């Protein structure tokens, strides 16, 4: 009997606690409601109960979508935590590389190339670029042949010889001296080269 009375007393105590909690929540809810009404009235906000009902229905209907959205946000947050340090290292490496390029003068070179391109555009007409595009294959063949090592060596040798031969030091030759020079091995080789060059030019036509 004592156990039953003790159980009943506990139940009554719990019931009183629940009633007190409900009463407190009711007071808090009423205060929040009154405060909300006053605040909405101050800002001239009118609430349509039907619209509120529709909003609640839509929220309840899209609970699954809200959960998916929250899961996506959590995944994005975890991804940012993982990618953040990597992105930081990439930014640091990129900044260092840009500083290295600046020290080596790459940016100044690009700026100089821009001026060169601007000068070309200003000094050449549209027709010139059309002709250039039509003959680009021939131009590239010429550039390819010029960049050949043997060709570069020959051109360099010719430039050195031309630089060493000054017009002020060249003395006029008489016919006899000219005939004598033509009998030298160097002149014979030079004339043979000239004849071969003319013949090769004729064969290419």
Contact by Cβ (8 Å): 191, 182: yes
The pLDDT value recorded for residue 7 is: 62
Distance CA 77, CA 124 (A): 56
At CA 44, angle to CA 42 and CA 45, rounded to 5? 110
At CA 73, angle to CA 70 and CA 79, rounded to 5? 145
**Does pTM top 0.75 for this prediction?**
no
Average pLDDT of the segment spanning 139-153: 82
44 Rama class: left (phi>0) / alpha (psi -120 to 50) / beta? left
Contact by Cβ (8 Å): 181, 187: yes
Contact by Cβ (8 Å): 47, 40: yes
Average pLDDT of the segment spanning 48-67: 81
pLDDT score of 91 more than 70: yes
- Six-digit token pair at 125? 């007409």
The pLDDT value recorded for residue 23 is: 78
Answer with the residue of higher pLDDT: 95 or 193.
95
The pLDDT value recorded for residue 153 is: 84
For a pLDDT cut of 90, what percent of the chain falls above it? 0
The pLDDT value recorded for residue 168 is: 55
Instruction: Find all residues with CB under 8 Å of 188, minimum gap 6, and list them.
Output: 182
pLDDT score of 19 more than 60: yes
pLDDT band at 167 (very low <50, low <70, confident <90, very high): low
Distance CA 200, CA 88 (A): 64
Instruction: Identify which of 163, 184, 183, 181 has the alpha carbon closest to the alpha carbon of residue 172.
Output: 181
């Amino acid at each position: 009997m004592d156990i039953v009375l003790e159980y009943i007393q506990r139940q009554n105590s719990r019931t009183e606690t629940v009633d007190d909690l409900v009463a407190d929540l009711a007071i808090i809810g009423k205060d929040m409601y009154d405060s909300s009404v006053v605040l909405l009235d101050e800002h001239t906000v009118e609430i349509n109960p039907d619209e509120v009902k529709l909003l609640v229905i839509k929220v309840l209907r899209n609970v699954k979508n809200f959960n998916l959205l929250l899961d996506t946000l959590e995944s994005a947050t975890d991804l940012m935590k993982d990618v953040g340090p990597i992105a930081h290292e990439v930014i640091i490496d990129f900044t260092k590389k840009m500083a290295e390029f600046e020290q080596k003068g790459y940016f100044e070179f690009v700026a100089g190339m821009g001026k060169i391109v601007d000068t070309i555009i200003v000094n050449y007409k549209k027709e010139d670029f059309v002709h250039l595009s039509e003959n680009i294959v021939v131009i590239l063949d010429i550039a390819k042949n010029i960049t050949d090592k043997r060709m570069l060596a020959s051109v360099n040798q010719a430039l050195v010889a031309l630089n060493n031969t000054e017009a002020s030091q060249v003395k006029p030759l008489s016919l006899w001296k000219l005939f004598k020079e033509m009998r030298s091995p160097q002149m014979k080789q030079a004339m043979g080269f000239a004849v071969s060059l003319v013949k090769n030019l004729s064969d290419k036509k």
